[in-house]
Amino acid sequence: MAGSRRLVSWRSATEIHLRPAVLNPSHLVHLRDVSLTLGGRDILQSVALDIVDNEIVTLIGPNGGGKTSLVRCILGLLKPDQGVISRRDGLKVGYVPQHFSVDWTMPLSVGRLMSLTQIHDEPTIRSALAETGVEHLINAAVQTLSGGEFRRVLLARALAGQPDLLVLDEPVQGVDFAGEIALYDLISQIRNNRQCSVLMVSHDLHIVMSSTDRVVCLNGHVCCSGVPGDVGANPEYTRLFGPRAADAFAVYTHRHDHHHHLDGQIADGMPETCAEDHQH
């Protein structure tokens, strides 16, 4: 099958280059002229992308625009038909997929989930869970978690491997609006505290967290890229999504004069007017 033919391991993918590439010391990942065809359909066309130290890159675009396929190429799960993908030697990547399948009929604790595919000792597990605010759930059944709690556990699972690069495919999937705010803040804090880089895929075309250093708009090819405030005004963005989409594009900002519970609600003791400090 053509699809299975392209499935490769992380190790083999890092060793495959269709032409030599010299990696800049600040680069974690370097892509040039990456193209991918699946089932006779062009998914990616001559994509170029660099991810450097300590930056947040948000990948946006329409459904079917190739965002998840590009992520899978970066992870080494798909081999492109042509182009160069280079990764820093020894690069550690933590990945949170958009969809994480769990057999909800089987008893599974958060602690067991944390070591499901990679074994970690308990101090490492507890530290990662504490970093995402869910250490108290270590013995809880995964089936009992809210959407926001589950996303935080998956994020902790990715952090347990001490990654240089976090790859987050729709990290706020299944979380309500208030929970999204809390998770965006957490992702920003993780980057600042760990000095790691983040590649975040967003299927919402119109809201990008303000701590994003660079937005890349992908629709099979890179339509436009730049700092968040500039992308909505880019003619290519307007041409692709229409003038109303450009008007709707907003940068999420958040004032840190309060904090949130795990469900995203503002903590008790803070004035309710704090909710108005979220700008979109």
Q: How far apart are CA 155 and CA 146, in angstroms?
A: 14
How is the beta sheet containing 27-38 ordered, strand by strand?
A: 41-52, 27-38, 82-87
Return the CA Rg of the chain. Answer: 19
98 versus 250: the higher-pLDDT residue is 98
By the 10 Å C-beta count (0-12 exposed, 13-18 middle, 19+ buried), 98 is classed as middle
* Predicted confidence (pLDDT) at residue 254 exceeds the cutoff of 60: no
Q: What's the whole-number mean pLDDT along residues 23-30?
A: 88
178 versus 252: the higher-pLDDT residue is 178
* Bridge partners, 216 (sequence order): 59, 225
Predicted TM-score (pTM) of the model is 0.79
Q: How far apart are CA 32 and CA 34, in angstroms?
A: 6
What percentage of the chain has pLDDT greater than the value 90? 52
| Domain annotation for the chain: domains and CATH numbers | 2-92+163-277 (3.40.50.300)
Q: What share of the chain is helix, strand, coil (3-state, %, to 5)?
A: 35, 25, 40
177 versus 213: the higher-pLDDT residue is 213
Residue-wise DSSP of 74-109: HHTSS--SEEEEEE-TT--EEEE-S-----TTS--B
- Please report which confidence band the pLDDT of residue 246 belongs to, taking 50, 70 and 90 as the band edges: low
Q: How far apart are CA 142 and CA 107, in angstroms?
A: 8
* Predicted confidence (pLDDT) at residue 16 exceeds the cutoff of 50: no
Residues found in the chain: 280
* Predicted confidence (pLDDT) at residue 18 exceeds the cutoff of 90: no
